[in-house]
Amino acid sequence: MANELRMVEAVRTALGEELARDESVVVYGQDVAVNGGVFRATQGLVEGYPDRVYDAPVAESGIVGLGVGLAAHGMRPVAEIQFSGFMHQAYHQLQQHAARLRSRSRGSYECPMTIRSPYGGGIRALEHHSESFEAGYAHTPGLKVVVPSTPADTKGLLTSSIRDPDPVVFLEPTRLYRAFREPVPEDDHTVPLGEARVVEEGDDITVVAWGAMVREATRAAERVDASVEVIDPRTIFPLDSETILESVRKTGRCVVVHEAPQTAGMAAEIIARINDEALYYLEAPVERVTGYDVPFPLFAREEEYLPDEDRVAAGIERALSA
């Protein structure tokens, strides 16, 4: 059985089911209880669980720090940061405490904490509301980093994140919250962390994209005169390198797409792994189609910043013609 859900509804469904399944799960963050969250992802949950869904002050460091303490004492906190651009205020709690609790305690403590946050551009938001910092979190040993691109994956990946024994940064693409519906399993639906999805199979070139960029990559693939394999890693760290490498060994060409700035982005890491493990299979240099090395622009210029299907299609054509 499956319901047709939007991504934001899939978030709410996963949270509701985990609150019902496990009494150690608590959901909190700014305005998540009474108002149901800035995007209404938690709307109505407080009515069923008034003792485990609650509002927190506007203090990102305190929100994440509280979660570390709750997790250390046997709870499974699921915290919401209203926009990922404000998660930097909590980065020291993530990097110095959440990510290190297992190693610092020599395994005596786990940190089963999930930090949810809308991320990325495309909704004409204000400054500090559209950043893509997944590479920074991936560079922090001890954190897992998840980015869904469909409602079904959102439910499955969020459920797996909440059940995971380690801290997970769960980044939800804001522009996809209400972009489309798709069938989402009603039963206990999980998607393993660290396992990529082959969105489209193809033989001529591989395109790797995540979050909102998966739709741009898929549309671009339909425009070019080639058989394009589209891969969505779904988990940025740990990265499913083998699915990407297996595809590149088959196609010999690759384009990596992300909306974060180019320098030191995840595309650079993926290309490095391809060079390490599949260099002799390449028939052309790997292309990057990314955001630019500038602060995310105000909304009047965000369409020029974000990769779209035109830029992705051009990247595919360059890789095919090299």
Q: Which residues are catalytic?
A: 129
228-232 and 197-200: which strand pairing?
A: antiparallel
- Distance, CA of 31 to CA of 33 (rounded, Å): 6
- Distance, CA of 140 to CA of 131 (rounded, Å): 17
CA angle centred on 122, ends 116 and 128, rounded to 5°: 60
Alpha helices, DSSP H only, in the chain?
7-21, 45-48, 60-72, 91-93, 101-104, 134-138, 151-163, 213-223, 241-251, 266-278, 302-305, 309-321
Which residue in this structure is represented by tokens 């909102």? Answer: 212
Q: In this structure, are residues 84 and 171 in contact, taking their beta carbons and an 8 Å threshold? A: yes
Structure tokens at 110: 């786990």
What number of CA atoms fall less than 13 Å from residue 75's CA on the CB side?
18
- The distance from CA 218 to its chain's CA centroid, rounded to whole angstroms, is 18
Structure tokens at 302: 């965000």
Q: In what order do the strands lie in the sheet with 114-119?
A: 53-55, 25-29, 76-80, 114-119, 168-173, 144-146, 235-237
Of 138, 136, 134, give the one whose Cα is nearest residue 147: 134
Q: In this structure, are residues 303 and 211 in contact, taking their beta carbons and an 8 Å threshold? A: no
81 phi and psi, to 5 degrees? -105, 125
